[in-house]
Amino acid sequence: MVITELLEKYAKIQPNEVSLVEINGENLPNAHMTWREFSLIEAKPGEKYRKEMTWKEFDVKANRFANLLLSRGINKGDKVAILLMNSLEWLPIYFGILKAGAIAVPMNFRYTSDEISYCINLADATTLVFGPEFTGRVEEALKDMPDVNTLFYVGTDVPNFAESYLKLTVFCSTTAPAVEITQDDYAAIYFSSGTTGFPKAILHTHEALYSSCRTEQNHHSQTHDDNFLCIPPLYHTGAKMHWFGSLISGSKAVLLRGVTPETILRTVSDEKITIVWLLVPWAQDILDAIESGKVNLDDYNLDSWRLMHIGAQPVPPSLIKRWKKIFPKHEYDTNYGLSESIGPGCVHLGVENIDKVGAIGKAGFLWEIDIVDPDTNEPVKQGDVGELIVKGPGVMKCYYKNPQATAETIKNGWLHTGDMAMMDEDGFVFLVDRKKDVIISGGENIYPVQIEDFLRQNEKIKDVAVIGLADQRLGEITAAIIEIKEGVHCSEDEINEFCKEMPRYKRPKKIIFADVPRNPTGKIEKPKLREKYGAARLVEAQNKS
């Protein structure tokens, strides 16, 4: 089966039920009104605070866009890029591309004009769908995208170099086009997050997309009665593949724009949300707001909320202990995955394994895993650190137009994740660190995640990133970039005293108080930190000499 058939199924059996809700939580004029009351008010000209779409409307929009693409000569195998903020139009456009047999190319909304042109050229996209937030960047990038000949604009005030998606699709057929699609056909190109360099293009088939639906529902037991709150950007596999659990179960989902502890809790309360997927920073913000008294839980009805799960990065055990203290009735789960493995789920903790918080889990549904020596590819002994490898129907087909990187990453059907991990006596996998983030100091391997988890137990610390900095004597030293909670004072001496409980070789040799940068999926942007503080250390060393 391909996922477009799931959309058509629910458009047929429950056409008038709501499939998607979009909530704009930015700049609310009245904190005591419900979202439904806000739906009658404009957030800004032409845009409501709350909008919704039925399954039938979803399918019709997808069919219309598919037919528009075909009418413009965009056929099976052609690439269509999407550069949009989360909105009700995002998923119908994505499914319209799939229904046309074309390949969807979701783009990171933080891309600069140079990154836009780089990724579009890398993917060989000839069509771009974009929104008003990107007009300037797209116009600037056009000079470097010679093969892009079709641009559709989603919104009003259409720029003169694009055509109106809204005006054109309204005249297109609402019937699904007669394009044969099989599970072996290419479906989408996603881009790596770029935390280890410039993005690579990741090619996936329809089989991979559908397998993600099955994995997600198996892990989180979505039924028709669930309501999923989707906060992360839909261009990323993590957000979309968690939503696939809603698709396969025919259940409602809510897209939230404007992320604060108040808007998240209010949306859960007003929309009767049952499942929320959070990134670590958002979960921390919610806990901080509650513990500081900025948020009063009595203002919200959260009885519907059954599951909170986190992925996209290592999850500090201390965070989950705090969460369970405030929300003792919540089921909790962790999902591990990569864009190369069609997002979350190749490793999965399971709600029944709360006693294993800190682990990322065992092999997910439909997946196999192993831990191997990165040099020999031979399995390591239980308890030893090695590279995590995964195998399953969601493994990417390849890095598009990059056979060398593909061969380095996929070996005998196994995807080499680049993450260092160990397995305990019960078969649970614990993430140690990225292979490229391991610090070698005086001959010792130091894993930054372990130090970060330890430091996050300090009640004054909001966030922390540990990186290696060049050192003439030791090769590298550990540096901790520490973000302190708002309104709290903390000194370097306090951190050093706190770290005395760690082995001496693991203690940070340099403490830097600064903000910790994270990308839209919550991952710490360590290359930026290494570039910034590595350069500063070089200047410091030169001054000393």
The separation between the first and the last C-alpha atoms of the chain, rounded to the nearest angstrom, is: 66
Q: Is the pLDDT of residue 195 over 50?
A: no
What is the DSSP code string of 368-401? Answer: EEEEE-TTT-PBPPTTS-EEEEEESTTS-SEETT
What is the DSSP code string of 17-43? Answer: SEEEEEEE-SS-S-TTS-HHHHTTSEE
Higher pLDDT, 524 or 455: 455
Q: Is the pLDDT of residue 194 over 80?
A: no
**Please, what are the domains in the chain?**
439-544 (3.30.300.30)
If we measure between CA atoms, which residue out of 97, 107, 105 comes closest to residue 68? 97
Q: Is the pLDDT of residue 528 over 60?
A: yes
Q: What percent of the chain has pLDDT over 70?
A: 90
Cα 340-356-437 angle, rounded to 5 deg: 45
Confidence band for 196, pLDDT divided at 50, 70 and 90: very low
pLDDT for position 129:
98
Contact between residue 476 and residue 468 where contact means Cβ atoms under 8 Å apart: yes
For 364, the token pair is 């997910």
Q: Is the pLDDT of residue 173 over 90?
A: yes
Q: Is the pLDDT of residue 93 over 60?
A: yes
pLDDT for position 343:
80
Predicted confidence (pLDDT) per residue in 378-391, tens digit: 999 999 989 999 99
DSSP category for residue 117: H
- CB neighbours of 405 closer than 8 A, spacing ≥ 6? 200, 399
For 204, the token pair is 């996936």
pLDDT for position 281:
78
Predicted confidence (pLDDT) per residue in 418-459, tens digit: 888 999 999 999 887 666 777 877 656 787 878 888 898 898
Cα separation of 239 and 312, whole Å?
Answer: 10
Predicted confidence (pLDDT) per residue in 281-320, tens digit: 789 889 989 998 999 999 999 999 999 998 766 677 888 8
If we measure between CA atoms, which residue out of 423, 420, 404, 293 comes closest to residue 362? 423
* Mean pLDDT rounded to a whole number for the chain: 89
Q: Is the pLDDT of residue 463 over 50?
A: yes
Burial level of 216, CB count in 10 A (0-12/13-18/19+)?
buried
pLDDT for position 401:
94
The whole-model pTM stands at 0.82
For 75, the token pair is 């056929």
Q: Is the pLDDT of residue 521 over 80?
A: no
pLDDT for position 111:
86
Average pLDDT (83-108) is 97
